[in-house]
A and B are shown apart, each in its own frame.
Chain A
Amino acid sequence: MSSKTFRGRHLPVIISIVIALMLSMMPLPEGIRNFRPDWVALIMIHWAMAVPRSYGVGVAWVVGLVLDVSQGTLLGQHALALTVITFITIKSNLLMRMFPLLQLTATVFALNAVYRFLLFWINGVAGVEAPSSVYWGPVLTGALVWPMMYILLSGIRYRVESRH
């Protein structure tokens, strides 16, 4: 693989994942912190849907570990949740590509809810804490930002896909 195709294919994806990680670490005021979308999950769903062969469960797992360390959660918690939703996305990616934007957003909403539920469930099993109902806020805001993110990434995605 020459460095040029590497730049074309992987760099946009890597940059977008890094930006998602940054957004998830960024300090936010108390009031809106509970509504911070799960940027990393959204990005991983997007790339798993667009280029399922290159960005599969392995990448999701590693990114999840990084997220675990940066958020100070149990090592493996985000990794597991991200792996699961990436798996579901890859399995249904042909179907998801056919969806109109509204239906796709609903699917992402459901995936995001699964992601949150897994995190919630692991917290419960490990006895870490019992979050309140605002815990589910990111699922809502995630669905709100998804269409914008999707349109923004479509251009980049076309490039990544066509060079595949």
Chain B
Amino acid sequence: MVASRGNTTNPARIPVLGLRTLFLIALSIVLMALDNRENHLNTVRDAIAAAVYPIQVVVDAPVRFFVWINENTQSRNELELENARLKAEKLLTSARLLQLESLKAENDRLREMLEARQQVKDEVRVAEIMGVDANPFRHSIVIDVGSSDGVYDGQAIVDADGVVGQVIETGPRTSQALLISDPDHTLPVEVLRNGLRTIAFGTGELGRLDLPFLPNNADIEEGDLLVTSGLGGAFPPGYPVARVGTVLRIPQQPFADVSARPLAALDQVREVMLIWPGEPEPAQADAVNDAESGNE
């Protein structure tokens, strides 16, 4: 008995303990490397999460129990108050519902007008925003048109007020677009008043663009309208982008500190317009024609 006890606890008798430990450490490092860069291991993670799920349910049970107790012991008075409030709300909602029909008709009409695209010389098509990037530091959206509609990488996107962004990735039915406020986005612009050319950088804030390359003596003022210059190739010229906000000239610095407010309601739009510039190259013209025939 004593001897067997000795065997069970003597580390020297545990076979290849060191080797096993080294192997597991190496395995952990490989897992972490795979997990850190990309999401290669989502299936593994999901499988383990499924195994852990019962434990999580048990852990959550007390919390849910207290919530349940709380709900069940609300006084009659509170319930009556809530009932009255809900009734009032229902009245209000049904009144609003009446308006919905007429609004819907109006919406259809407006969309038809947009689709007709007579006012703009460039080809335009309306797209709906399907989703936004969950990462708060990445300003990108997903729209419901893709390469089968003739969308191409780098295509300009505008809304009713100004430039929204450009397409960065096209799928067959959807595309991803970068907003002009994304820190990675740059846009060649010019001042409408005097044609001064510069570049507008996204800042990561929805309401601000930076114009970092304007010399101190540049002729730019608060309230100047910035439009696309068309020099970058992606955007057709003349679309409004932003209005200059603050102009800060610091004598010691080579460049003025200029910021601007985007005109497009970047965080409010649901519909955007894709632009095919006025005289597209033959290949793109075909794409546009395809899109048109697809529409009609």
Could you list which residues of chain A lie within 8 angstroms of chain B, going by C-beta atoms? 18, 21-22, 25-27, 51-53, 56-58, 61, 64-66, 69-70, 74-77, 79-80, 83-84, 87, 90-91, 93-94, 97, 122, 126, 161, 164
Contact = CB atoms under 8 A, between A and B. Distances in A.
Contacts of B196: none
B70 to A, nearest CB: 16
Contact of B20 (A57, A74, A126): A57
Contact of A79 (B10, B31, B60, B63): B31
Contacts of B35: 74-76
6 contacts: A27-B59, A66-B48, A76-B30, A83-B21, A84-B25, A97-B9
B107 interface: no
B45 to A, nearest CB: 6
A87 B21 CA distance: 7
B56 A70 contact: yes
Chain A CB within 10 Å — which of B9, B35, B56 has the most?
A: B9
Nearest to B36: A126
A56 B17 contact: yes
B55 A25 contact: yes
B35 to A, nearest CB: 4
A22 B48 CA distance: 15
B231 interface: no
B47 to A, nearest CB: 9
Contacts of A57: 17, 20-21, 24
A141 B178 CA distance: 48
B17 to A, nearest CB: 6
Interface residues of B, number: 34
B52 A84 contact: no
A135 B14 CA distance: 35
Contact of A75 (B14, B32, B52, B59): B32
Contacts of A53: 8-9, 13-14
Contact of B28 (A21, A26, A51, A61): A61
B8 A84 contact: no
Contacts of A77: 28, 32
Given A70-B56, A79-B31, 8 more contacts: A25-B59, A27-B60, A57-B24, A65-B48, A66-B48, A76-B30, A76-B31, A87-B18
A69 B17 CA distance: 26
A77 B28 CA distance: 7
Contact of B14 (A22, A80, A90): A90
Contacts of B51: 66
Nearest to B60: A27
Interface of B: 8-11, 13-14, 17-18, 20-21, 24-25, 27-32, 34-36, 41, 44-45, 48-49, 51-52, 55-56, 58-60, 63
Nearest to B10: A94
A90 B28 contact: no
A75 B49 contact: no
Contacts, number: 99
Contacts of A122: 32
Given A76-B31, A76-B32, A69 B8 contact: no
B38 to A, nearest CB: 12
B219 to A, nearest CB: 44
Ordered nearest first, which 9 A-B pairs have the shortest CB separation?
Answer: A76-B31, A80-B28, A76-B28, A76-B32, A75-B35, A69-B48, A87-B21, A61-B24, A83-B24
Nearest to A67: B52
Contact of A56 (B9, B14, B34, B58): B14
B25 to A, nearest CB: 6
B32 A84 contact: no
A113 B27 CA distance: 23
Contact of B44 (A18, A75, A97): A75
Contacts of A52: 8-9, 11, 14
B52 A70 contact: yes
Contact of A58 (B20, B45, B59): B20
